[in-house]
Structure 1
Amino acid sequence: MLASLIGLLAVLVRLPPIITEKILFHFDSARDWLWVRDLVLSQKLILVGPWSSLQGVFYGPLTYYLLAIFFVLFDGHPLGGSIYALIVNLAALILLYRFLKSRLSPVVGLIGLTLLAFAPLSLYVSNFIFQTNPSLILGVLILEPLYRLSRGDAQALPWIAVLASLGVQTNLFWVGFLLVYVAWLIFWLRLKLTWQLGIKTLMYFCIPLLPQAVFELRHGFLQTRSLFGFIQGENQSLGDWATLSSRLIQRPKLFWDLLQQSTGGVISLIALVWVITKKGHDKFLMALVALLGIFLIEAILFPAQFKIWYVYALIPIVVVITAVWLSGLNKALVIIYLVGFSLWNARGFLPDKAASGQDMKLFINQLEAVKTVIDWGGDETYAVYTYTGPIYDYPYQYLFWWQRQKSWRGPVEYSYLPGKHDYVRNKLIYDPPKKDAGMIFLIMEQDNPASDYRWETWLKAFWEYKLVDVKQLKSGVRIEKRVKIDRT
């Protein structure tokens, strides 16, 4: 009964951003939704998803096939992606509770459920599309085979292998980092591997990678060459390599942020120390601590940029360690902490604080800008060009197309600059027929003084158009109406 109540509260606290449409629909979210659109409308199977941050390396297709279901169910509304994210997040809560209740104790289950339900990062990833958000559930799914393995059941190893390779679908770092951990685990637990078990483990690892393998064969091992290029320092798409001294400072700080946004930094740290000093005999708990430790070491050794979303799968690991420690403390103090933890983290999801009205990463604000332009343009022939921080205007690319499907009105061209179309998958197939437009609208999000790419630079592309009207939206977006200068 109590678990059901916690679950219900977890759902209720996640719903306001979805109900109010104050969901994130930023660069990556919109890019993924555009890929899903192409998958659904082209009805062509794909072997890989969009590119990752590492040039030449792509995500697996599974997430996009799952998103396609919600694209169809919600008729292309981006909220479909939010519902998908919510379902994955809630599934992680249910699976975590069932594991902790059956393998540890009902009390640990309730504590762990509460912690994951209201962990800041868990709440954050629960209502929008982003490639690495579903990786949180990988951290839950790995608990059962890890538990079995720590109890001497070597037959659980293939299941860890398949969970490792599933990282290509959502979190590429999970794959590489976890392989090192598994190798250490085999040595630490002194597992006796037979040929049959080794072959079975390898087969399980390869199954989720089959689409990637076919893609590699068809494209001259593009991803393999890109990975080797990165290792050799030739592929710099992840940014300049940081010095070891800076990584020794930055990466522990990032892991501290992970603890802070999981169950609370100090609480998590105390729980980790407690397990190491008091529970060293418990191989399962020590395996969890080692997982965090090995990932931290690998993060320090990794030379390029490193983001917190690379380790979202570690959130449930932190939750389990903390829940076990809390279960042994004074019951009243634990209840007070959990109530305070839940209320404090849930406050940001209340309707009046769900998001800033000037956040242009929000779907509701982007849609307002798009509808304003469409209503303003009416049945005239016009084009739209956008100035956004990331340059590539993926949210507007999707929203203008989506609105045209509903009203059959909209611009004849929409891009970040005239004639640019190759940054959107099969864009020309979905765009209306090309026409000359004597009128244009410029959607200008807030300028970034720190960027070399400024309003002034961008506006030079439209020198032939005279400003005739301006609208300033509450979101901070400036929309200019311009007409072509008649030079005859």
Structure 2
Amino acid sequence: MRLKIKNLLYQNYLILLAIILVGLFLRTYQLRERFLYSHDQDLAGWFIKDVVIDKHLRLVGQETSTQGIFIGPFFYYLQIPFYLFSHMDPIGGTYLVTFLGILTMVSIYFVFSQIFDKKVGLIGAFIYAVSFYTVNNDREVVPTMPVILWSVWFLYGLSLLLKNEQKKASLVFGILMGLIWHINFALILPVILIPIAYYFSRKRFEYKNLAPGLIALFVTSLPLLLFEVRHGFQQTKAMFYSLTTPQSDTVFTGYEKFQRVWYLMSKNIHGLFMGTFPWLSFESVSFIFVVILIFLIVKKIIDRRLLFLVVIWILIYIFFFSSYSKIVSEYYLNGITIIWILTFSVCIWQLLKRSDIKHFGVMILSFFFVFNLNKFFSYDINASGYVQRKDIVSEIKRNSNDRGYPCVSVSYITDPGYNLGYRYFFWLLNVKTAPIGNDVPVYTIVFPLKPIFVTDVNKGAIGLIYPNHESYAKERIEKGCSGENSNLTDPLFGFTR
């Protein structure tokens, strides 16, 4: 009997290892080419430079889209060892999110196995490893990337409470609640499920079990507390203002907001599972998942207490964002992605358990694998990301060095916002810049490429126009370059010095 159990465990771990290797491949294949580098990643580089090079410990990360509210610094500090490993190159950030993606696969396996069965854990890990949606999520070097990782451990915390393991649950929730500010403020929404889960546990609350959670919460929240005290509770006021004041000029009625949230939720579910599968609309897929949830409720396949918490979790997100004045994006709803993975995993597990319909489960997983791989390999790679931006700045450095320019000026022919996401490369490649108008050669970056703009060099979808070299006198260039490096002194949108 023991030998049989050992063989099963060994087999499960081999399957998990295979899943991890597939997931690792999908997250590292064409790592540089698929690195979507833009302003957010540029800001991360400046944060890390400020800490590592300038020796300035920071309490906040970049400013969010809501004025006065900053994301926490934890994700940025996590990138530091990877930046050091890559010699301060932003590619180091991709190593971190790859690691976090692998950690999420393992976490899903562990949590689903603890709540249900190891087979459910393997199915969940497989879904996360292969889904085009989650693969892309794990390639984005942004603080919101670990939302699904946070969510799976929140689910684990709820299960611990239902099992009356208050001390463990307290520690898990303490860490997770402290990390909300560092990842995504929307993660505060499911916190209301904690007292509900405690009520369902039917066990007397013991205050001594709070200690581990309170300590963890204090430690992870310390940067926020220090920042708020030093700055007159700026973020607290900004948060209150954002919740009580319209955040968008676009006016939606209540039903229109609900429609948009439902559409985005359906789009996320479709992206999570369908790959290039052509015959189902976004709404059809969400309807199927609602039916599956109802089936799980009726058949009592999942603990009804946990299932109730999961349904409330979904409804909280829908109702909150249906009433929130800010225009909602897809990533706001990533906090419920783990629920769809769980629902699908349990459903497939039910199919695989029965020999008469087992082949349907295998067929569904096979289709899932094929269609998601097809989407991954047929996906058009962004031609204005990390590789192209770094190449453009490298070309400016090469050409200016060949001409003997001590510094350069840079202009942009692009839409507002697309001129951001280059400045860290100018620092990394040691290119000094000066304001335009100082008799300094002006290099012009063009995006997107258009026939009316004749460029000298193209890197993917980004072009570069050289200065009219003959119009710049050496003496005037040297005078124009005698000042400070404007790349280091000019304000940077979203970055506080």
Q: Retained in 2: the 8 A contact 1:252–1:296?
A: yes
C-alpha distance in 2 between matches for 1:486 and 1:61:
44
The aligned counterpart of 1:333 is: 360
Give me the whole-angstrom Cα distance separating, in 2, the residues matched to 1:479 and 1:226: 40
1:17-71: per-residue Cα shift (whole Å, max 9, x none)?
A: 31x5331102212222221222211122211111112111111111111111111
Quickly say closer, same or farther: Cα 1:373–1:355, change in 2 above 3 A: farther
Kept in 1, the 8 Å contact 2:162–2:198? The answer is: no
Give me the whole-angstrom Cα distance separating, in 1, the residues matched to 2:118 and 2:191.
32
The answer to whether the aligner puts 1:443 opposite 2:445 as a matched pair is: yes
Identify which of 44, 49, 72 aligns with 2:56.
44
What are the superposed Cα offsets for residues 421-454 of structure 1, whole Å, 9 maximum, x if unpaired? xxxxxxxxxxxxxxx4442111011289xxxxxx
TM superposition shift of 1:269: 3.5
Is 1:258 paired with 2:268?
yes
Distance 1:48 1:310 in 2: 21
Q: Say yes or no: does 1:225 pair with 2:234.
A: no
Query: What amino acid maps onto 1:375 in structure 2?
Result: R
User: Match of 1:322?
Assistant: 344
Q: CA deviation at 1:97?
A: 0.9
The CA deviation at 1:345 is 1.4
- 3-state SS of 1:262 partner: helix
Instruction: Name the structure 2 match of 1:61.
Output: 73
Relative to structure 1, the CA distance from residue 474 to residue 203 in structure 2 (aligned partners, 3 Å threshold; closer, same or farther) is: closer
- CA deviation vs aligned residue, 1:209-231 (integer Å, no higher than 9, x gap): 12101111111111111112223
The one-letter code of the counterpart of 2:424 is Y
Deviations 1:329-387 (A, max 9, x none): 1322212221221222123443xx46436x32x11121222223223322224322234
Q: Deviations over 1:137-189 (max 9, x none)?
A: 101222322112223434454222431331111111112x1233334444555
1:249 counterpart residue number: 259
Asked whether the equivalents of residues 385 and 442 of structure 1 are also in contact (C-alpha less than 8 Å), the reply is yes
Alpha carbons of 1:391 and 1:262: their partners in 2 closer, same or farther (altered >3 Å)? closer
Gapped regions of structure 2 (runs ≥ 5): 1-13, 275-284, 352-356, 474-497
Please tell me whether residue 346 in structure 1 is matched to residue 373 in structure 2. Answer: yes
Q: In 2, are the aligned partners of 1:114 and 1:342 still within 8 Å (CA)?
A: no
Among all aligned residue pairs of Structure 1 and Structure 2, give the percentage whose two residues are the same amino acid.
Answer: 20
**Cα separation, 1, equivalents of 2:249 and 2:133:** 25
- Please say which of residues 472-481 and 141-150 is displaced more in the overlay: 472-481
Amino acid of the residue matched to residue 319 of structure 1?
Answer: I
What is the alpha-carbon distance in structure 1 between the residues aligned to residue 251 and residue 373 of structure 2?
A: 37
| Corresponding residue for residue 411 of structure 2 | 385
- Cα distance, 1:292 vs structure 2: 1.7
Shift of 1:304: 1.3
What are the residue-to-residue correspondences of 1:363-374 with 2, within 5 Å?
A: 363-374=386-397
Aligned residues: 439
AA in 2 matched with 1:356: I
Q: 1-side partners of 2:317 and 2:204: how far apart?
A: 25
Aligned equivalent of 1:6 = 19
1:37–1:68 contact (8 Å) kept in structure 2:
no
Cα 1:476/1:166, change in 2 over 3 Å: closer
**In 2, distance between residues paired with 1:418 and 1:276?**
65
Alignment CA distance shift 1:102-1:233 (3 Å): closer
Structure 1 Cα separation of the partners of residues 17 and 472 of structure 2: 68
SS in 1 for 2:409: strand
Letter of the 1:364 partner, please give it: V
Cα separation, 1, equivalents of 2:45 and 2:292: 40
> Contact 2:411 / 2:442 at 8 angstroms: preserved in 1?
yes
8 Å contact from structure 1 (residues 96, 113) kept in 2: yes
Which amino acid is 1:123 matched to?
A: V
Q: Quick check: 68-77 or 96-105, which moved more? A: 96-105
Match for 1:81 among 93, 115, 121? 93
CA distance in structure 1 between the partners assigned to 2:45 and 2:370 by the alignment: 33
SS of the residue corresponding to residue 387 of structure 2 reads helix
Aligned to 1:309: 331
**Structure 2: distance between partners of 1:295 and 1:438:** 53
Provide closer, same or farther for how the CA distance between residues 165 and 178 of structure 1 changes in structure 2, counting only shifts above 3 A: farther
If the length of structure 1 is used for normalisation, what is the TM-score? 0.81
Sort the Cα spacing of 1:248 and 1:346 in 2 relative to 1 into closer, same or farther, 3 A.
same
Match of 1:269 in 2: 290
CA contact (8 A) 1:29 1:128 kept: no
Corresponding residue to 1:169 among 174, 182, 198: 182
The 3-state SS of whatever aligns with 1:261 is: helix
Q: Structure 1 residues 356 and 200, CA, compared in 2 at 3 Å: closer, same or farther? A: closer
CA contact under 8 A between 1:152 and 1:191: conserved in structure 2?
A: yes
SS in 2 for 1:443: strand
| Shift, 1:98, TM fit | 2.1
Instruction: Evaluate the alpha carbon distance shift between residue 319 and residue 154 of structure 1 in structure 2; reply closer, same or farther with a 3 A threshold.
Output: same
Question: What TM-score does the superposition give when structure 2 sets the normalisation length?
Answer: 0.80
The secondary structure found in structure 2 opposite 1:42 is: coil
Partner SS state of residue 327, structure 1: helix
Cα deviation, residue 195, structure 1: 4.4
Among residues 29, 35, 41, which one is paired with 1:29 in the alignment? 41
Measured against aligned partners, the alpha-carbon deviations of 1:94-138 in whole angstroms (never above 9, x if no partner) come to 111122234321221221111111122210022231121122210
Aligned residues: CA RMSD:
3.0
Q: Which runs of 5+ in 1 are unaligned?
A: 405-409, 420-435, 449-454, 457-466
Q: Residue 111 of structure 2 contacts residue 153 of structure 2 at CA under 8 Å; is this kept in 1?
A: no
After superposition, the Cα gap between the structure-2 partners of 1:322 and 1:387, relative to the gap in structure 1 and judged at 3 Å, is: same
Q: Would you say the 8 A contact 2:200–2:305 is kept in 1?
A: no
Using the alignment, how far apart are the partners of 2:117 and 2:365 within structure 1? 17
Written as runs of structure 1 = structure 2, the 5 A alignment for 1:93-172 is 93-158=105-170, 159-172=172-185
